A and B are shown apart, each in its own frame.
Chain A
Amino acid sequence: MNTHSGNRIRVLIADDDEHILQCYRMAFGENDATDFVGSLGSLEAELFDQDAESPAAPKFEIVACNQGGDAIALAARAATEGRPFDVVILDVRMPPGIDGVEAGSEIRKLDPEVEIVFVTGFSDVPISELARRVPPPVKLHYFNKPLSFMELAESVAGMVRAG
Chain B
Amino acid sequence: MSPKASLSLQQKVSVTLLAVMAALALLSYLVLNATVAPAFAELELAAAEKNVVRAHRAIQNELENLGATVGDWAPWDDAHKYALGENPRFIKSNLDIPTMINLGVDLLIIYDARGEALWSQLLLDGKLANHEKLAVLQLIESKPQELIYHTDLQGSKEGLLRTAVGPMLLSSRPIITSDKTGPIVGTIIMCRFLNATRQAALRERTEVSLTWHLIDSESLLDESLMEDIVAGGAGSFTYAVDDEEIRAYGLLTDLFGEPLLILQADTPRQISALGGRTVNGALLFLSAAGIVIAIVTWLLLRRIIVLPLERLANHITGIRTSGDLSLRLNEKRVDEIGALACEFDKMTLQVHDARRQLLDQSFKAGKADTAAEVLHNIRNAMTPLINGIDRLSKTFRIAGDLRVQQAIEELYDQECPQGRRDKLLQYVRSAFSHVEQASDRAVQDLQVASRQARQVEAILSDQERHANVAPVIESLELQSMIEEAALVIPDKDTSGIELSLHPELARFSVVAHRVGLVQVLGNLILNAWESIKRSQSESGSIRVTARIDDSGERSLVRVTIADSGCGFTDELHPKIFQRGFSSKRGHLSGLGLHWCANALASMGGRISAESAGADRGAEFHVVLPGSTTEAASARRRKQQGRDREVGKDREIVVAEMAGRMQREYAQR
Contacts and interface: CB of A to CB of B under 8 A. Distances in A.
Interface of A: 17, 19-20, 22-23, 26-27, 33, 36-37, 39-40, 43-44, 46-48, 93, 120-122, 124, 144-150
B383 A20 contact: yes
22 contacts: A19-B384, A19-B448, A23-B383, A23-B387, A27-B387, A36-B434, A37-B434, A39-B430, A40-B430, A47-B420, A47-B424, A93-B376, A121-B376, A121-B378, A121-B379, A122-B379, A145-B380, A145-B383, A146-B379, A146-B386, A148-B387, A149-B383
B57 to A, nearest CB: 118
Contacts of A144: 379
Given A40-B431, A146-B386, A148-B390, A122 B403 contact: no
A110 to B, nearest CB: 27
- List of 5 A-B pairs having minimum Cβ-Cβ separation, nearest first: A121-B379, A122-B375, A121-B376, A145-B379, A146-B382
B367 to A, nearest CB: 13
B277 interface: no
A47 B142 CA distance: 198
Contacts of B383: 17, 19-20, 23, 121, 145-147, 149
Contacts of A124: 372
A74 B666 CA distance: 50
A23 B386 CA distance: 10
A71 to B, nearest CB: 17
Nearest to B426: A43
Contacts of B446: none
Interface in B423-454: 423-424, 426-427, 430-431, 433-434, 437, 441, 448, 451-452
Nearest to A46: B423
A122 B386 contact: no
A75 B434 CA distance: 37
Contact of A17 (B372, B380, B407, B441): B380
A22 B447 CA distance: 14
Given A19-B448, A20-B384, A23-B387, A43 B427 contact: yes
Nearest to B403: A48
A147 B426 CA distance: 36
B377 interface: yes
Q: Is the interface of B mostly helix, strand, loop or mixed?
A: helix
Most buried by A among B376, B382, B403: B376
A23 B382 CA distance: 11
A122 B379 CA distance: 8
Given A17-B380, A122-B373, A149-B387, 18 more contacts: A22-B384, A26-B387, A27-B387, A27-B391, A37-B434, A43-B426, A43-B427, A43-B430, A47-B420, A47-B423, A47-B424, A121-B376, A121-B383, A122-B375, A124-B372, A146-B385, A150-B387, A150-B394
A117 B376 CA distance: 17
B423 A43 contact: yes
Given A27-B387, A146-B386, A150-B391, A19 B452 contact: yes
A37 B434 CA distance: 8
Nearest to A20: B383
B160 to A, nearest CB: 129
Most buried by A among B373, B383, B426, B448: B383
A121 B375 contact: yes
B386 A44 contact: no
B445 to A, nearest CB: 9
A96 B452 CA distance: 22
A26 B387 CA distance: 9
Contacts of B424: 47
A121 B452 CA distance: 15
A40 B434 contact: yes
A19 B385 CA distance: 10
A33 B395 CA distance: 10
Contacts of A146: 379, 382-383, 385-387
Contacts of B377: 121
Contacts of A44: 402-403, 427
B406 interface: yes
A33 B386 CA distance: 19
B188 to A, nearest CB: 143
B442 to A, nearest CB: 12
B26 interface: no
B380 A121 contact: yes
Most buried by A among B379, B388, B406, B448: B379
B375 A150 contact: no
Contacts of B388: 23
B591 to A, nearest CB: 23
B492 to A, nearest CB: 27
Contacts of B426: 43
A27 B434 CA distance: 18
B437 A33 contact: yes
A48 B394 CA distance: 21
Contacts of B403: 44, 47-48
Nearest to B373: A122
A43 to B, nearest CB: 5
A33 B441 contact: yes
A13 to B, nearest CB: 13
Contacts of B391: 26-27, 150
A62 to B, nearest CB: 15
Contacts of A26: 387, 391
